[in-house]
Amino acid sequence: MASDNNNQDFSGEKTFQLEGIHPSDIFGMKEEKLQLICRIFPKLKIVLRGDLLKVIGEEDDIAFFDKKFTRILNYYEKFGKIPEEIILEIISDEQDSMPIDNMGPVSSEVLVHGRDGMLIKARTPNQARMVESFKTHDMLFAIGPAGTGKTYTAVALAVRALKNKEVKRIILTRPAVEAGENLGFLPGDLKEKLDPYLQPLYDALRDMIPPFKLESYIEDGTIEIAPLAFMRGRTLDNAFAILDEAQNATTNQLKMFLTRMGKSAKFLITGDITQIDLPKNQASGLISAIKILNQVKGVEFVFLNEKDVVRHPLVTKIITAYKQNEGD
């Protein structure tokens, strides 16, 4: 198999030997994955002969291919397979910032088709666990450090449920703990007061719903974004409700939210127990919930960690460093 680049002038070449690997394990029984790679690297002539892969082209293009193909081989050596979607993810990861451990194996299931053709899906094994667990549980807790995609995955699940008509509305809420849930002293109207606390939820929604549609959903109440205090006394029927930053809810506040669950409802609670902003004399309701609810049938807990971080690679190192120094 070779890429169709016979009319190009080339300045270099490199040969890769697939030691101990059958070529079909990497490239597919019909070399369909090799064809995919050839399409992605149109400037290179790529020839497979037995267990030797020869790449011919400009030195810079070969160097880029070398880096990406090495990551592909590393993934295969770790997991014993290399799906097409992982090949695409490795090659499209411009900064090579996604650790191989975080890349798989994960579900290829697309949750939402976002703006500009963005395919939104689980990007790490524990995000995939969130997706799978929510198929069989009506209440899910996703707990982990910053940058692990808890909120983003939760919002994607909610948007999918709304588009599939599994629910009639989405409720997104957070404790406005920085204002002590008392927003009266802040300047401006109510929306102006709340938006700084709820901005991450807006950001996720904007990735997944066209602006005009999102505005319409918010205006007619199909999507509601509100602070946790506004949930008191309500019953949330036919709704997908997300409580974000739940580590900053007190035990009574979290109990209040969980008991808002009405018929045909789905609840997803996210939080980071390493970043609690409550006063020292107030216990985090999220920590209490882990102890109280972990044996309740129908309630599921998924714990994410630094290996699930999908932000800049430094974030993983920062989280690890703080964990190592806990208690110092």
On whether both 249 and 302 belong to a single domain, the answer is yes
On whether both 165 and 254 belong to a single domain, the answer is yes
The tens digit of pLDDT for each residue in 74-129 reads 888 877 888 777 787 787 665 665 666 655 555 567 888 877 667 788 888 888 88
Q: Which of 96, 120, 135 represents a domain boundary (last residue)? A: 96
* 173: exposed, middle or buried (Cβ count in 10 Å: 0-12, 13-18, 19+): buried
On whether both 222 and 86 belong to a single domain, the answer is no
Q: Is 4 inside any structural domain?
A: no
With bands split at pLDDT 50, 70 and 90, how would you rate the model's confidence at 282? confident
**Contact partners, residue 308, CB within 8 Å, separation at least 6:** 102, 124, 125, 126, 127, 144, 148, 149
With bands split at pLDDT 50, 70 and 90, how would you rate the model's confidence at 11? confident
Q: Which of 66, 96, 126 represents a domain boundary (last residue)? A: 96
Cα(34)–Cα(24) distance, integer angstroms: 9
256 pLDDT more than 70? yes
Q: What is the pLDDT of residue 99?
A: 62
Q: Is 173 inside any structural domain?
A: yes
Percentage of the residues of the chain whose pLDDT score is greater than 70: 83
On whether both 77 and 211 belong to a single domain, the answer is no
On whether both 171 and 218 belong to a single domain, the answer is yes
Mean pLDDT along residues 308-320: 75
138 pLDDT more than 60? yes
On whether both 139 and 247 belong to a single domain, the answer is yes
Give the pairing type, strands 239-243 and 110-113. unpaired
Mean pLDDT along residues 214-240: 91
What 8-state DSSP symbol labels residue 250? B
Q: Which of 96, 129, 158 represents a domain boundary (last residue)? A: 96
Domain ranges, residue 242 = 108-324
Alpha carbon of residue 186 to chain centroid = 33
Number of structural domains found in the chain: 2
Q: What is the pLDDT of residue 285?
A: 92
Q: Is 1 inside any structural domain?
A: no
Residues paired with residue 142 on neighbouring β-strands, in sequence order: 270, 302
On whether both 84 and 189 belong to a single domain, the answer is no
Q: Is 84 inside any structural domain?
A: yes
Q: Is 187 inside any structural domain?
A: yes
The tens digit of pLDDT for each residue in 143-195 reads 988 888 899 999 999 999 999 999 999 999 988 764 444 444 444 555 566 66
Q: Is 57 inside any structural domain?
A: yes
Q: What is the pLDDT of residue 6?
A: 47
Q: What is the pLDDT of residue 181?
A: 47
Query: Residue 60 is part of a domain; what is its CATH number?
Result: 3.30.1370.10
On whether both 165 and 204 belong to a single domain, the answer is yes
Q: What is the pLDDT of residue 180?
A: 44
Q: Is 42 inside any structural domain?
A: yes
Q: What is the pLDDT of residue 253?
A: 93
The tens digit of pLDDT for each residue in 39-77 reads 888 889 999 998 899 999 999 889 999 999 998 988 888
On whether both 261 and 175 belong to a single domain, the answer is yes
Q: Is 183 inside any structural domain?
A: yes
Q: What is the mean pLDDT of the chain?
A: 83
Q: Phi first, then psi: give them for residue 135, nearest 5 degrees.
A: -75, -25
On whether both 181 and 282 belong to a single domain, the answer is yes
On whether both 148 and 29 belong to a single domain, the answer is no
On whether both 186 and 267 belong to a single domain, the answer is yes
Query: Residue 306 is part of a domain; what is its CATH number?
Result: 3.40.50.300
Q: What is the pLDDT of residue 184?
A: 46
- Residue 198: closest CA among 163, 166, 235, 245: 245
